[in-house]
Structure 1
């Protein structure tokens, strides 16, 4: 039996069918790429997250009625001259009417004695008071006394105090060409009160306990303003 020899094999790359398959694959890949690019091109980039929230804004709280602005600068008070010693704020000697109280005894010099018990008023006096006159017990202690501060105020400070006192429980009224604000109470320990007189940049602040001679503040006003 005679065998028929095999025909020579044609290389794959020379076969038309191979290139048809390759072309179809490349075309499919190109279509996929175009579709993907078209879909992504229509989207906007995601915004990056913020690193901090906006800070809310609010108005600063107003000063409470019991807290007038503190001041350590007396500013430029009026031209009214405040006496440099207690003798200059009276037109007469008040000792006989004050039941044996002594003016500024030695022990009182180092004590924080103010012409008010009100926290807001003391805050202002700490920066503006130029004179303190304390009628108290010579040996110290006791529940009887009268303490006066004379302070120099700017017009703004005077207006601030005139607006402050009514809100702090004082009764205010016009007197002797100025504004006077008073408060008085009776407790188990007796009577106590305060008188604050404001005029032309001068503040006469007086606190008293169980002694309140008639005309005391009027006399100080007469001595300072004439």
Structure 2
């Protein structure tokens, strides 16, 4: 059969791992030389026993594209695989700041995450039955100590809000199931002008009613 299995990392033409059926696996010198488990058995079948790759204590620098090359005397196959070693964010913070008389700016800060995250904003009704994605978001990402950080913000007109609103910051890592969210509650401000008009109208109505009642009482007294 002559089965030979080789594992490659990214574009390196030198395999990091090689196994010839019936022999002990070999690890080539390099950053993986102390991190691969040569005793790992992917199957009890002798023809597949050491075909798998097991990395001990993987770190973020080992993320990337891998390729398994299996060959025999008659056939050769290549199978790509992607490995994502990720770090969840240490903190996702969201808050709002009123801008002028008619707008609110929503902020979200994400700390210590890897690899580069995707951050989106959503707006939802108080009972969360109506949820929509916010557009026009500004994102600034930085890199420090092998981790990403992000500051995200968006400006929303209060006229677009239908009463009390939840703003949600959603953080995801591509090619993983990582999903971290945080949200904040916002109460739209009342229109000051409309409030005054309502108060004046109410006072006038109250005064007119008092006059009518007084006149009616006077008429009864005179009778």
Higher RCO (CA-CA < 8 Å; seq separation 6+): 1
Write 1 or 2 for the structure with the bigger share of helix: 1
Same-fold call, TM cutoff 0.5: no
Task: Classify the TM-score, shorter chain.
Answer: under 0.3
Q: TM-score, normalised by structure 2?
A: 0.21
TM-score, with normalisation over the residues of structure 1?
A: 0.21
Please identify which structure carries the higher strand content.
Answer: 2
